[in-house]
Structure 1
Amino acid sequence: MIETHLRRRRSEGRSLLVPYVTGGIRADWIDYLTAYARAGADAIEIGLPFSDPILDGPVIQEASGRALRRGVTVRGLLDEVAAVRIDVPLIAMTYYNLVVHRGAADFCRDLAAAGIHGLIVPDLPIDESASLAEAAAAAGVDLTLLAAPTTSAERLAEIAAASRGFVYAVSTMGTTGAQFAASGGRLAADLRQLTDRPVLLAFGVATPDDALTAVQSADGVVIGAALMRRVLEGGTPDELGATVAGLRKALDLDAGRLPDGARP
């Protein structure tokens, strides 16, 4: 479902925009989903907080810590998502510990029942992903795999073939919130030679200029830490929606989809 939607958006000449929110970061966190959707997001990534992340930098760590201190649980977050209608696809990002705790099949069925049809598990290597990939496919959930600038050519081909929804290209070796790196562009270009599946570039994409640089080689971008920094500083759903709308407008102007000065 995620892949079909993103392919269709891409075929319209659109650079794909996937903003992120940490589930439960605030009591009104669901309002960020609706604000992102109204602002032109093509899909939305929801972080399911975990106490011991290995891929997240200080901003996402603090966002997850704040959510956990509020007492959020995966079950509670999914119940909140299930209670609203969001008009773009939703993708969960979390760590394998939470998947194993629930059991892969039940975890994926829970996601689908809540209306989430994409899953990213950054600490799950492709070598050990077969059972989760099977459970995800059975539940109608696209399991997206990550590729890094240091990934070997052989392994890159395996990831491109096995990933579903899109391929998540990490711009730099480091954690979320790192500075955007040119190595990400080379990685995205290599992946696009290996697959027709959408390739989205993440890590360090913080500004419209970063996004425009990224889509010279990728089909779109995932933006997380820059948005969560704003939320941690008190940014409201409307304010974050305006930020996403600005990114959307920049990407559309670059693609020639909007006349200069038009509203996104």
Structure 2
Amino acid sequence: ARDCAGCGITGMIVPDLPPEEAAPLKEACDKYGVDLIYLVAPNTPPARIELIAEETGGFLYLVARVGVTGARSEVLQDTRDLIARVPGKKPKAVGFGISTPDQAADVIRAGADAAIVGSACVDLIARGRIEELEALIGEMKKAVKAAGKAR
């Protein structure tokens, strides 16, 4: 947490760390002003969502689907339902399978505050397609802005 803060990192996600087991890391994050961000999956029960929403720092990371991350062709109804049932005190960011501008806009229209696009970006970087990455990010930004205004 100290090294993160020293490098300008303001938050961290440890996907397999539940709040009940995070006390030492959370204490270090709090000490250095780094948000510890927890994930909420589509199958997370309501009482647990409340706990995670209370404990998370920065924003809630809503997992768009059960399974592994990676590009998908559509945003599922389960994702829309999850966005709707998570309390609105902290910003909601949706990730896991968001890979196109249309999908990013779709989660914003459904009530999310942000779309997290990881695998599509990592794939383009791995293939050395930086210009395509820049274009994708630009398209995502335009789509998200337009969807936010449409809400």
TM-score, structure 1 normalization? 0.53
1:115 matched residue in structure 2: 8
What is the aligned partner in structure 2 of residue 188 from structure 1?
Answer: 83
> Using CA pairs below 8 Å that are at least 6 residues apart, which structure has the higher relative contact order?
1
Q: Is the 8 A contact 1:161 1:195 kept in 2?
A: no
Q: Which aligned pairs between 1:160-171 and structure 2 lie closer than 5 A?
A: 160-171=53-64
Output the CA distance in 2 between the equivalents of 1:117 and 1:136: 9
2:14 maps to amino acid: V
| 1:142-178 C-alpha deviation (Å, 9 max, x unpaired) | 1110000111111110001110110000011111115
Structure 2 length-normalised TM = 0.90
- Aligned match of 2:96 in 203, 217, 230? 203
What is the identity percentage for the equivalent residue pairs of Structure 1 and Structure 2? 37
Aligned residue number for residue 35 of structure 2? 142
Give the stretch that moved more between structures: 125-134 or 153-162.
Answer: 125-134
User: Contact 2:92 / 2:114 at 8 angstroms: preserved in 1?
Assistant: yes
SS of residue paired to 1:223: coil
Q: Structure 1 249/178 Cα, relative in aligned 2: closer, same or farther at 3 Å?
A: closer
Structure 2 residue runs without a partner (length 5+)? none
Q: Structure 1: where are the runs of 5+ without partners?
A: 1-107, 258-264
Larger Cα-atom Rg: 1
Q: Residue in 2 aligned with 1:176?
A: 69
* Cα distance in 2 between the residues matched to 1:245 and 1:162: 33
SS across alignment from 1:169: strand
Q: Which SS does the other structure have where 2:116 is aligned?
A: strand
Change over 3 Å in CA distance of 1:188–1:256 after alignment to 2: closer
- 1:159 and 1:206 map into 2 onto residues whose CA distance is 26
Paired residues of 1:172 and 1:178 also in contact (CA < 8 A): no
Residue of 225, 233, 236 corresponding to 2:127: 233
Counterparts of 1:1-264 in structure 2, within 5 Å, are: 108-177=1-70, 179=72, 180-191=75-86, 194-215=87-108, 216-236=110-130, 238-256=131-149
